[in-house]
Amino acid sequence: MSLQRRRGTSITGALALVLALCVAILPAHAQPKRIVSMNLCTDELLMRIVDPARIAAITHLSQQPINAPLGLDAIASKLAINHGLAEEVIALKPDLILAGSFTTSTATALLRRLGYTVLIFEPENSFDDMRANIRKLAAATGDTAKAEQIIADFDARLGALQARIPDDRRPIFADIGVNNYITGDNTLYAQVVNAAGYRTLGQALGFSGYRTVPLEQLLTVRPALMSTATPWTSPPSLSTMALGHPALRAVTARTPHVEIPERYTTCGAPSLLGAIEILVEEREKMGSAR
């Protein structure tokens, strides 16, 4: 072998060694640095898990007082927003897009066809679903340690609230929405209510999921606590005005009433603790009044 060929082989080998070392020190997958959320619920998980410097945009919903996730107003107010439109998201040059399975489906389908990485999240029906979605997001962003801390903090706070429940009774909490829409078993909302020491009205009536119920059927159950609060009153509708039916007002007049902000129960996320705390405080009052 000539000196020139030996030198060429030596240089080629050195370059190969350098490239191998570079590959060895790179992470298995680089952390995404421009993340866009197109869903209110992924907004909250993203803001809790990831450094705001890596968040390219959240939805406009998270900057509305009615929806703002618990304790995240300061972060949300400083972030760019999107309205679920594909052209908005493309302009943000994201390397990861988060979306819900039932929202902006046309936009997310287009973004996928254009080659963007879109991570879809299913709605949560339980605390376990929430924990799974937190871990799913963290696996995609490289923030698994932070996710486990968030879950541990949630569980610790939940345990502390449940320790305040004064007894093992499960009185009925009747949260009645427009069109007499109520919650039954096997739902995230029922798990929140159960965690605070109550049964939902739907559970008392013996059904699962969500449904509208005739007023006559609602009046067959006597709740220990009620809510007929709704944020959807501007402008009012006939279904909203029906919450003021005289028969329902009569029940409300003799039953303790509570209002749980919509933003505490919309998503399977740590904001759920806000609803649980309100309900536990009512259970404490009920226990002390016995």
Flag whether pLDDT at 182 surpasses 90.
yes
What's residue 288's pLDDT?
A: 65
Q: What gap in Å lies between CA 221 and CA 268, rounded to an integer? A: 28
Top CATH class of 35-161 equals alpha beta
Flag whether pLDDT at 135 surpasses 90.
yes
Flag whether pLDDT at 111 surpasses 60.
yes
Give the single-character DSSP code of 14.
Answer: H
Same fold, 35-161 and 172-288: yes
Q: What is the mean pLDDT of residues 173-193?
A: 94
Flag whether pLDDT at 19 surpasses 80.
no
For residue range 46-58, list pLDDT tens digits in order: 999 999 999 999 9
Flag whether pLDDT at 108 surpasses 60.
yes
Close Cβ partners of 36 (under 8 Å, ≥ 6 residues apart): 55, 56, 57, 58, 82, 89, 92, 94, 96, 97, 98
Q: What is the mean pLDDT of residues 258-275?
A: 94
Q: What is the mean pLDDT of residues 62-90?
A: 93
Tell me the three-class secondary structure of 80-124, residue by residue: CEECCCHHHHHHCCCCEEEEECCCCHHHHHHHHHCCCCEEEECCC
For residue 15, give the H/E element and its range.
Answer: helix 3-25
Flag whether pLDDT at 78 surpasses 80.
yes
What's residue 27's pLDDT?
A: 46
Residue pointed to by tokens 């305040």: 164
Band of residue 193 on the pLDDT scale cut at 50, 70, 90: very high
Q: What is the mean pLDDT of residues 177-198?
A: 95
The mean predicted confidence, pLDDT, of the chain is 88
Q: What is the mean pLDDT of residues 106-124?
A: 95
Q: What is the share, in percent, of the chain residues with pLDDT greater than 90? A: 72
Flag whether pLDDT at 23 surpasses 60.
no
CATH architecture of 172-288: 3-Layer(aba) Sandwich (3.40)
Angle formed at CA 264 by CA 258 and CA 265, multiple of 5 degrees? 90
For residue 225, give the H/E element and its range.
Answer: strand 225-227
Flag whether pLDDT at 25 surpasses 70.
no
Of 28-32, 133-137, 180-184, 192-196, give the lowest mean pLDDT range. 28-32
What's residue 24's pLDDT?
A: 37
Domain borders along the chain are 35-161, 172-288
Q: What gap in Å lies between CA 105 and CA 125, rounded to an integer? A: 21
Give the single-character DSSP code of 68.
Answer: P
Measuring CA to CA, which residue among 128, 108, 105 is closest to residue 117? 108
